[in-house]
A and B are shown apart, each in its own frame.
Chain A
Amino acid sequence: MRRFLQDWAHLLLPAGVLIAGLGVFLVIRAAVVPKSFGEYGHYRGAALEMIRQKPVSYAGQDMCVMCHDDQAKVKAAGKHATVHCEACHGPLAKHAEDPAANVPKLPDVAVLCKRCHEQDPAKPSWFPQVVTAEHSGGMKCTECHQPHSPHIATEADAGSGRGK
């Protein structure tokens, strides 16, 4: 029996190496996997609190409208009704906190408009799109279009003050 056990004993060695490897792995895993991992899903639960503590960048549409209701009304009546202010003007939480100290720059329309309206066959055909180089001949989009209500201004519109 002793001899039999002796002849089997060497098989315990690779098994020991594997178990030791598994043990080292479990120790590393316990040390490096954050405690909150899996709390809500396949991610670190504490990450939500960390994200919550980050400074807010966007003020939100409602905040913009509180002061800029004239532009908001124009926008609400036009094609850009569903585009939020900060989608074009950028994050403006600081401006909302202290409007005098943080005056935002106007966006560069030469870059901004074509982000959405440059022609691309992958876009749906109903979506307004142009080959900007051919369409404007180098002119700024705002020479003809009012960004808050981008339809081409007519005399009637000019009389009623729309598109400003």
Chain B
Amino acid sequence: MMIPGVDGFMYPNEVELQWSVLIVLYPYITGLVAGAFILASLERVFKVEAVRPTYRLALLTALAFLLVAPLPLQLHLGHPERSIEMYLTPHRSSAMAMFGFVYLWYLTVVLLVEIWLEFRPDIVRMAQTAKGWTRLVYKVLTLGSMNVSPAARAIDEKVGYFVTVVGVPSAFLLHGYVGFIFGSVKANPWWSSPLMPVVFLFSAMVSGIAAVLVLYVAAMKVRKTPVDMRCVDTIAKYLFYMFMIDFSLEMLDLVHRIYESDESFRSLDFMVHTRLWFSQVILQICLGTLLPLALLAITQLWRVAEGKRRLMYVVASCLTLVGIFAMRWNVVIGGQLFSKSFLGYTSYKMGFATREGLLPAIALMLLPFLIFWVLVKLLPPWLKRETA
């Protein structure tokens, strides 16, 4: 009997994909969090002063995306009220259960504390000057302390530095774990690779840096404020370096697979040349990696006029974001398209207005931007010279 969308032999439980587009969104969103935070840490820990204008923006971006990160999982699994069980009765042998603690640690101890320390003077000022209910909100956010004396701020600076130092490995853990979840599935040759956490980590940094660059330029455009070119030049330089490492790692993985040519190779190779041709070769590798790398390389090698350079950065970053999304898609969806017998292939049919369809996926992807907008309204991240 022929099953629509299935070619060759599939085991019965392989015909329908269990991990949908929502599971694609989950590592994508988590990656943006980790990447944005690492960009923020460039200024704080590694003293890259040029990226200072994006420091606060990157922290708010990380928070906006982090708040949404568990939602695709909860929508996919159903019964979100049960997610608390992960904390109440943790199963220490489950990597997924342990992620709950990594997430909570990162949200509360790292990100919220760092944002609070960074924005304290603004919060205190607003608590004194704002009117109505917003004053109450800011008063609550001060946690009861109005002390923003230079001595107190100097202490904040030191503690903030320490929190960021702790935060960098936490961000690595947060996204390295996501790669680990896939890399440790030994039954799936498309996923099972010790390189997976490292590839996920670098691609996370790439996507997060690209997202902050686009958000920064867009925010400056909306605010009709000139873009700090020294800042975007530096971000683009780091984006280029990170992308080169990420691309090299992915190519290393590919070369290793081709040279090793284990029993899964023919099947996976066929899949890349057929069902994943557009999303992997065209979208991820050509449009999402080689083209942005070429654009970034041009800006590094030759002198390009400021306006053109800015446009090239934005185009390269947008393409990068599409490319990294395609990478997540190819990992999650691609890993479920072939039979473990290596004799058949299935298809992924995405619903539209279903629980795991395109519509909720779009809504979940827009939600962090809405949260980001609220956060920016609540805690304006603009530096003094940008607020003129």
A residues near B (Cβ < 8 Å) are 3-4, 6-11, 13-14, 16-18, 21, 25, 28-29, 32-33, 37-38, 42, 120-122
A13-B145, A33-B89 are contacts. A3–B113 as well, Cβ < 8 Å?
A: no
CB distance from B92 to the nearest CB of A (A): 9
Instruction: Please give me the residue from chain B that is nearest to A13 by CB atom.
Output: B143
Contacts of A28 in B (CB 8 A): 88
Task: Tell whether B12 is near chain A: CB-to-CB under 8 Å.
Answer: yes
Q: Determine if B108 and A21 form an interchain contact, defined as CB atoms under 8 angstroms apart.
A: yes
User: Which chain B residue shows the least CB distance to A44?
Assistant: B89
Given A11-B155, A13-B143: A122 touches B113 (CB 8 Å cut-off): no
Provide 23 A-B residue pairs closer than 8 Å at the C-beta atoms, listed in order of the A residue: A3-B151, A4-B151, A6-B152, A7-B151, A7-B152, A7-B154, A8-B155, A10-B120, A10-B152, A11-B155, A11-B156, A11-B159, A13-B143, A13-B144, A14-B143, A16-B143, A21-B108, A33-B89, A37-B89, A42-B89, A120-B12, A121-B9, A122-B12
Chain A residues with CB under 8 A of B143:
10, 13-14, 16-17
Determine whether B116 belongs to the interface, using a CB cutoff of 8 Å to chain A. Answer: yes
CA distance A3 to B147 in the complex (A): 11
Cβ–Cβ contact A6 & B144, under 8 A: no
Answer yes or no: B109 CB below 8 A from chain A CBs. yes
Q: How far is the CA of A162 from the CA of B279 in the complex (A)?
A: 62
Which B residues lie within 8 Å of A3 (CB)? Answer: 151
Q: Is the CB of B149 closer than 8 A to any CB of chain A?
A: yes
9 further contact pairs, Cβ within 8 A, besides A9-B147, A10-B147, A18-B109? A6-B147, A7-B152, A10-B143, A10-B152, A21-B108, A25-B87, A28-B88, A32-B88, A33-B88
Chain B residues whose C-beta falls within 8 Å of the C-beta of A10 in the assembled complex = 120, 143, 145, 147, 152
For residue B120, which residues in chain A have a CB less than 8 angstroms away from its CB?
A: 10
A115 CB, min distance to chain B CBs, angstroms: 14
- Report the minimal beta-carbon distance from A101 to chain B, rounded to whole angstroms: 41
Nearest-Cβ distance from residue A2 to partner chain B, whole angstroms:
12
Q: Are A7 and B89 in contact (CB under 8 A)?
A: no
Chain A neighbourhood of B11, CB < 8 A: 122
Alpha-carbon distance between A13 and B109 when the two chains are bound, in angstroms? 13
Tell me the chain B residues, 70-118 only, with Cβ under 8 Å from chain A. 87-89, 91, 108-109, 112-113, 116
Q: Which residue of B lies closest to A121 (CB)?
A: B9
Question: B347 CB to closest chain A CB, in angstroms?
Answer: 18
**Chain A positions within 8 Å of B109 at CB level:** 18
**B12, B88, B154, B156, most chain A CB atoms within 10 A:** B88
Chain A proximity of B29: nearest CB distance (Å): 24
Task: Give, as a whole number of angstroms, the nearest-CB distance from B332 to chain A.
Answer: 24
Assess whether B108 is in contact with A18, with CB atoms less than 8 Å apart: yes
In the complex the two chains form, what is the Cα distance from A14 to B163 in whole Å?
13
Q: 10 tightest CB-CB pairs across the interface, nearest first?
A: A10-B145, A13-B143, A7-B152, A7-B151, A122-B12, A10-B147, A29-B88, A33-B88, A122-B11, A7-B155
Which residues on A sit within 8 Å (CB–CB) of B145? Answer: 9-10, 13
Residue on A nearest B116 in the bound complex, by CB = A14
Whole-angstrom distance between the alpha carbons of A21 and B104 in the complex?
Answer: 12
Chain B residue contacts of A11, Cβ below 8 A: 155-156, 159
Instruction: Give CA–CA (A149, B87) in the complex, Å.
Output: 54
- B113 A14 Cβ-Cβ under 8 A: yes
Q: Please name the residue on chain A nearest to B108 by beta carbon.
A: A18
Which A residue sits closest to B91, measured CB to CB? A42
> A100 → chain B, closest Cβ, in Å?
43
For B156, what are the chain A residues with a Cβ–Cβ distance below 8 Å?
A: 11
A120 to B155, CA, bound (A): 70
Q: Could you tell me the distance in whole angstroms from the C-beta of B116 to the nearest C-beta in chain A?
A: 6
B residues near A33, Cβ cutoff 8 Å: 88-89
Residues of A within 8 A of B149 (CB): 7
A132 to chain B: closest CB distance in Å? 12
A113 to B265, CA, bound (A): 40
Expressed in whole angstroms, the Cα–Cα distance for A42 and B94 within the complex equals 12
Contacts of A21 in B (CB 8 A): 108
| Nearest neighbor of B341 in chain A, beta-carbon distance | A122
Q: Which B residues are in CB contact (< 8 Å) with A25?
A: 87
Contacts of B9 in A (CB 8 A): 121
